[in-house]
Structure 1
């Protein structure tokens, strides 16, 4: 009876630097900091629904690139790109190209934007689209998706 993803924890090289980065993002609510374990925890969106944990060199001295996504509303996806730009955070589409042309995942369907945190973890803002899933289609630009759907 899984109802969603509750928490994600990532290794970071410096939890204080990463904390400053994540605290810039909208709806990241500080929850708990453990100076001894060099970790910090955040509610994402609404308290009690989703949590992100950052831990400095947790169980390994190595930081391995990981990926996770924050769900956003469709009307906020372009605002998210502009917000990241204002923060000086470079963003891209799925293919690593300019975020001016976002990518749609027709099998869901959803549109997203990508950026990296200070340790190079791949972070994504993703918004579900109102149309029916189209698993027979390949990834495409949001512009092409909208043209396909008469928008």
Structure 2
């Protein structure tokens, strides 16, 4: 019965700041705004495909959440770091090697890079990779994945 995820909602401290971030920094399309309720909605990707809702709440009521934006492999490999840095966002991974390059979650397998929104929510660009999952590899570099997936 379930065919996908249509929407997710997060709490934000300053609705206007978050609207600016998701609209003007990340480039999402705003599709709804209600000042009385202090909520805004954005299409993620194609209109009517998936939605993000932002609800303004006091800082003490905000719990940090995580969600990921589906992307193309090529965009993550060749554009994501430049895209994030050009917008004063700090890309990060879980490789523990001091780099900011995308990583592979071998259990899926998927290529990913993380960054934060103005409230500290953990956001991710992710792309599913071809090949068989290899959970025993954990989190590895894309270069290591290319070597390991053929072994």
TM-score, structure 2 length as denominator?
0.89
- Mapped to 1, the partners of 2:17 and 2:124 lie a distance apart of 19
Q: CA deviation at 1:98?
A: 3.1
1:97-142 deviation digits (Å, cap 9, x = unpaired): 5322x22111111010100100000000101111222233322111
- Mapped to 2, the partners of 1:124 and 1:142 lie a distance apart of 16
2:41 is equivalent to residue 63 of structure 1: no
Match of 2:74? 75
- Mapped to 1, the partners of 2:82 and 2:137 lie a distance apart of 28
Match of 2:100? 99
The structure richer in helix per residue is: 2
Match of 2:42? 42
1:27-77 deviation digits (Å, cap 9, x = unpaired): x1110011111111001001111000101018x951111101110010110
- Mapped to 2, the partners of 1:4 and 1:54 lie a distance apart of 20
Moved over 6 A (4+): none
2:150 is equivalent to residue 140 of structure 1: no
User: Does the Cα contact within 8 Å between 1:15 and 1:39 map onto a contact in 2?
Assistant: yes
- Mapped to 2, the partners of 1:25 and 1:146 lie a distance apart of 29
Tell me how many residue pairs correspond in the alignment. 147
TM-score, structure 1 length as denominator?
0.89
Match of 1:122? 122
Match of 1:25? 26
- Mapped to 2, the partners of 1:51 and 1:98 lie a distance apart of 32
User: Does the Cα contact within 8 Å between 2:95 and 2:140 map onto a contact in 1?
Assistant: no
Residue 61 of structure 2: SS of its match in structure 1?
coil
Unpaired runs of at least 5, structure 2: none
2:86 is equivalent to residue 86 of structure 1: yes
Q: CA deviation at 1:95?
A: 5.0
- Mapped to 1, the partners of 2:76 and 2:43 lie a distance apart of 20
